[in-house]
Amino acid sequence: MARYLSLIFKNWKQKKDRFVLILLGAILIGGGMNLLFSLTETKQGTIVDTLQNKWESSYHIVVRPTGTKSITEEHNLFEPNYLSGISGGITLEQYHTIKNMDDIQVAAPLSIIGFMNINILLDNLSIDEPGIYKIEEKITTNNTLNDYSKTRKSYFSRGIYEEATPEIYRKYGFTSFDGDLYKGSPLLLAGIDPIEEAKLVGLHKSVISSPDSSYFSDDNLVKSYTLEELGYVGVQGELTEFPVILSTHPSIKENTQINVTKLDIPFESNLERKESLEKISKNGGESFLNTINGNKISNFQYTANDIHNKWLDLFSNNTVKNATELSGPLYEKTSSLSYKEETSPYPNRWKNAYSLNSVNENTDDDGVVMFREAQLKDTPIKNRPRLQPYLIGMYDPTDLDISKNTENELPMETYKSPTGTHVLDSSDNPINPTEDVYPTSNIYEPLIQSPSMLTTIEAAQKILGDKAISSVRIKIKDVADFSEESQQKLEKIAAEIEEKTGLEADIMLGSSPSPVIVNITNNNKEIGWMEQAWIKVGASMQILQETTLGYSSIIIILIIVAIVYVFSTTYVTFLARKKEFAILIAMGWKVKHIQMLILFESLFIGFIICITSLFVQFLVQSLSGYQLIYSKLLLLILFILFIYMIGPLIPIYLIKKINPNEILKNDEISTKKTIIHVKNLISLIINSIFRRKVRNSISIIAIAIPTSLLIVYIYISLRLDGILFSSWLGEYVALEINIVHYLSVAIAFFISILTISELMWQNLTERKKEFALLYVVGWKKRDITKVIIGEGAIVGVIGGFIGAFIAICILYFMYHSLDIKSLWIIAIAIIIPIISGIIGSMIPLKKVTKIQPINFLKT
């Protein structure tokens, strides 16, 4: 061993320049690979932890009725709160089939029953002065995109006909008014299973604790009465009495203004009243009153929060039953939206775009634009289910066990109303500042409110019948981590659910908000564009798979580049010392001793890299807090030593073929024929390259492999960015991996330069006599420089084209298809190899340009 070390150090001392190059390459490979390995492990851990913490919705799988698929699902996109647009469709038998399956931890049914028009007492107005009065209720929103404005007018009188009959209304347009100002609001009612909902989102823990507020219990009975039992003789139908709990937060956002105006109509004396009534009756009653001006005597303004707080105040004072009209028919059922795919006006910002037009170019009875089909329009009031809810408690949706983080606050929860942002006008121009869009009391608008009242599935069945359940939200046992194993388990269970029930089962594992833009049109007239956070199903899993592929590719790139570099180094060492080895054999050295010398030198370099690796690993651990995994570090060291054992195998094999007599007789100047006739510098360079086919082929391969893998990596990076920036979670993850991108490109680039330099160094060393002869015949240093740099550039061009071909094959094998638009990166196969070849040839150039011709020609 001592003899081998002595020979190795002596050789390095004699060839200091090459030793520095070898040492630099060893440090770059060892340090670079280990630094990237550490960052990759750290960032990969960060990615997994990020996805682990941010992917989770309150359920793993959602089951819904067949026939509820939308065109948006072609891109794995679901509109916000799409479950609220499903009105029944799942039977209790199907639900129990799901609930009784193995591995089902929670199966929480959800029934979107529909809307109830609930009246709430807002204020009381005392008016005694004779006259005719107008009550005008105006509802407005705060944005132009969802311009839901609705005005209702009614008239009453003081001094006569204060208790108006239907005949009085038809004749004069008067209604009765006792001074109480009510506001009617359609509230969405949903049915849940109290036990399963408590397990799913902790609903029981969110109920306000007070003597008058409690969660569902067995004491809360659901009862049904026929209308005849309630005294409605000859009227068919049934009234269902059921418990409800009320949300403490409103699910809509709008403003209500109530104005009370005394009309300019004489009405003081009996004679004036008689004459005015005759005039009103003669001119059309209410239509005539609509044309009369007056003086405003009272004004009331309420926000959605004000009205909702009226509910809460009345309930906390235990007077809600007397202050509200809770009994009434089912006002309307929910329905889904019909989207059409649209070309995005700004595809770099919004990859997916859709249009949404008003349905049938119709409005409801109040003139409100409808984007959803009416479900009970043709069902008379008397034939609709009659509802009698009784309040047992209030719950705060902000206390539920659901995500409140912006990165994974999925727009799919039952307890969160969807929102949007008005970002573009009808001419596709940006809105500045943008406007927030919220649900309103328009039940047919694009943004449907979340349920404000919750009851039980039992009540939902009484109201809607056997197919009352709209969806089932499922959590699976032992799915505690974010992994492909979890995904495979959910896929198996989802397939089993579909097979046993015939329903649709969607996996929500790894879903993320994704920006989508929707073109809102009314009667095919554009209103503007609304940005929304939609549900990108499987976004996190796709991110995990692509980042894993990306990171694996980074490691593979560096490993292969390192292998090529080690092979090139050992092969160049063999070529440079071939005569030395021939002399040793001639002096009596055994071939196996020379082979051991080559192997020992290679392993010694590998040992240097291992020491560097340990230093880098411990440095990263101390600076970043990265937890050092000793088993992986040991594997990395063994792998490095393995590479440096494989590297010299070819030179070891070639040692056997050394013939000392032939090698010592050979001259440096080649007598081979030229490939093409030498007319200029280019032809000389081409002949020089082809004269040493094997060696330059190694140079070309040495540059082609890192170039091809670099192209593959950049393609993967672009593909990964396309996936990452399709969801907000992906944008967050993208910020975490940029350093690895840039570092891997830089390392691969520098190692490829060193690889070319090694081979070019040996080529130039063996051609010193050739260059000395060219100096003698009149060549200048700049001419020699052009030849050397030209050879490096041409080797780079050839290597680039071969690398591009290899890259295309690898990419097609990985993805089974290629994005033609992304193949512009093949231009890198021309630029980077040329730069690498030129830089690689310039490193040994200095030594060649210092040649003294007389020293070589006299030998």
Picking from 458, 488, 509, the residue at the C-terminal end of a domain is 509
Tell me which of 650 and 252 has the higher pLDDT: 252
Res 40 pLDDT > 70: no
Residue 321's pLDDT band, with cuts at 50, 70 and 90, is very low
Q: Is the dihedral of CA 441, 445, 451, 455 positive or negative?
A: positive
**Which pLDDT belongs to residue 735?**
43
Q: Tokens in use for 806?
A: 């290899």
Neighbours of 276 (CB within 10 A): 19
**Which pLDDT belongs to residue 105?**
94
User: In terms of DSSP H, where are the helices of 467-507?
Assistant: 484-501
Q: Are residues 41 and 67 in the same domain?
A: no
Q: Is residue 486 part of a domain?
A: yes
Kindly state the greatest CA–CA separation across the chain. 144
**Which pLDDT belongs to residue 500?**
95
Q: Is residue 665 part of a domain?
A: no
Nearest by Cα to 183 from 120, 138, 258, 134: 120
Q: Are residues 698 and 652 in the same domain?
A: yes
Average pLDDT, the chain: 79
**Which pLDDT belongs to residue 100?**
94
**Which pLDDT belongs to residue 526?**
85
Secondary structure in 3-state letters for 280-340: HHHCCCHHHHCCCCEEEEEEEEEEHHHHHHHHHHHHHCCCHHHHEECCEECCECCCCCCCE
Count how many domains the chain has. Answer: 2
Picking from 493, 509, 525, the residue at the C-terminal end of a domain is 509
Range in 166-170, 339-343, 777-781 with the lowest mean pLDDT = 777-781
Q: Among residues of the chain, what percentage have pLDDT more than 70?
A: 74
Q: Are residues 503 and 551 in the same domain?
A: no
Q: Is the dihedral of CA 554, 560, 561, 566 positive or negative?
A: positive
**Which pLDDT belongs to residue 668?**
46
**Which pLDDT belongs to residue 662?**
60
Residue 46's pLDDT band, with cuts at 50, 70 and 90, is very low
Tell me which of 375 and 563 has the higher pLDDT: 375
Q: Give the best-scoring range by mean pLDDT among 108-112, 562-566, 639-643.
A: 108-112
Q: Among residues of the chain, what percentage have pLDDT more than 90?
A: 26
Res 195 pLDDT > 70: yes
Which residue has 């979340």 as its token pair? 450
Q: Is residue 617 part of a domain?
A: yes
**Which pLDDT belongs to residue 547?**
59
- Asked whether 238 and 227 are in contact (CB, 8 A), the reply is yes
Which residue has 């091809």 as its token pair? 708
- Asked whether 641 and 26 are in contact (CB, 8 A), the reply is no
Q: Is the dihedral of CA 339, 343, 346, 352 positive or negative?
A: positive
Residue 807's pLDDT band, with cuts at 50, 70 and 90, is confident
Neighbours of 321 (CB within 10 A): 11
**Which pLDDT belongs to residue 681?**
66
Which residue has 């028009």 as its token pair? 117
- Asked whether 554 and 713 are in contact (CB, 8 A), the reply is yes
Cα–Cα distance measured from residue 550 to residue 327, given in angstroms and rounded to the nearest whole number: 61
Q: Are residues 31 and 88 in the same domain?
A: no
Q: What is the mean pLDDT of residues 54-65?
A: 78
- Asked whether 144 and 435 are in contact (CB, 8 A), the reply is yes
**Which pLDDT belongs to residue 553?**
59
Structural domain span for residue 25: 2-52+540-659+681-857
The secondary structure of the chain in percent helix, strand, coil, rounded to multiples of 5, reads 50, 20, 30
Q: What are the C-alpha distances in Å from 571 to residues 556, 659, 694, 836?
A: 22, 18, 12, 20
Q: Are residues 499 and 545 in the same domain?
A: no
Res 76 pLDDT > 80: yes
Cα–Cα distance measured from residue 742 to residue 176, given in angstroms and rounded to the nearest whole number: 76
Res 322 pLDDT > 50: no
Q: Are residues 290 and 397 in the same domain?
A: yes
Q: Is residue 651 part of a domain?
A: yes
Res 42 pLDDT > 70: no
Q: What is the mean pLDDT of residues 562-573?
A: 73
Contacts of residue 699, Cβ cutoff 8 Å, sequence gap at least 6 = 756, 759, 760, 763, 795, 799
**Which pLDDT belongs to residue 613?**
75
Q: Is residue 582 part of a domain?
A: yes
Q: Are residues 444 and 564 in the same domain?
A: no
**Which pLDDT belongs to residue 98?**
96
Res 31 pLDDT > 70: no
Residue 727's pLDDT band, with cuts at 50, 70 and 90, is low
Q: Are residues 289 and 429 in the same domain?
A: yes
Res 375 pLDDT > 50: yes
Residue 669's pLDDT band, with cuts at 50, 70 and 90, is very low
Picking from 489, 509, 529, the residue at the C-terminal end of a domain is 509
**Which pLDDT belongs to residue 461?**
95
Q: Give the best-scoring range by mean pLDDT among 199-203, 374-378, 598-602.
A: 199-203
User: In terms of DSSP H, where are the helices of 577-658?
Assistant: 578-586, 591-624, 630-646, 649-655
Per-residue pLDDT tens digits for 506-532: 988 777 778 899 999 888 788 899 999
Q: Are residues 11 and 127 in the same domain?
A: no
Res 639 pLDDT > 50: yes
Cα–Cα distance measured from residue 138 to residue 597, given in angstroms and rounded to the nearest whole number: 95
Neighbours of 10 (CB within 10 A): 10
Cα–Cα distance measured from residue 714 to residue 803, given in angstroms and rounded to the nearest whole number: 13
**Which pLDDT belongs to residue 646?**
78
Q: Is residue 527 part of a domain?
A: no
**Which pLDDT belongs to residue 311?**
75
Res 252 pLDDT > 80: yes
Per-residue pLDDT tens digits for 295-313: 999 999 999 899 888 877 7
**Which pLDDT belongs to residue 459?**
95
Cα–Cα distance measured from residue 670 to residue 709, given in angstroms and rounded to the nearest whole number: 36
Amino acid identity for residue 497 in this structure = I
Q: Are residues 334 and 400 in the same domain?
A: yes
Q: Are residues 36 and 130 in the same domain?
A: no
Which residue has 């005849």 as its token pair? 228
Task: Calculate the CA 481 to chain-centre distance.
Answer: 19
Q: Is residue 37 part of a domain?
A: yes
The H-or-E segment that residue 845 falls in is: helix 845-848
Secondary structure in 3-state letters for 652-690: HHHHCCCCHHHHHHCCCCCCCCCCCCCCCHHHHHHHHHH
The H-or-E segment that residue 533 falls in is: strand 525-536
Q: Is residue 384 part of a domain?
A: yes
Cα–Cα distance measured from residue 189 to residue 385, given in angstroms and rounded to the nearest whole number: 13
Res 384 pLDDT > 50: yes
Enter the DSSP assignment of 625: -
Q: Are residues 48 and 76 in the same domain?
A: no
Cα–Cα distance measured from residue 110 to residue 89, given in angstroms and rounded to the nearest whole number: 11
**Which pLDDT belongs to residue 584?**
79
Residue 554's pLDDT band, with cuts at 50, 70 and 90, is low
First vs last C-alpha separation in the chain: 36
Nearest by Cα to 190 from 91, 106, 294, 86: 86
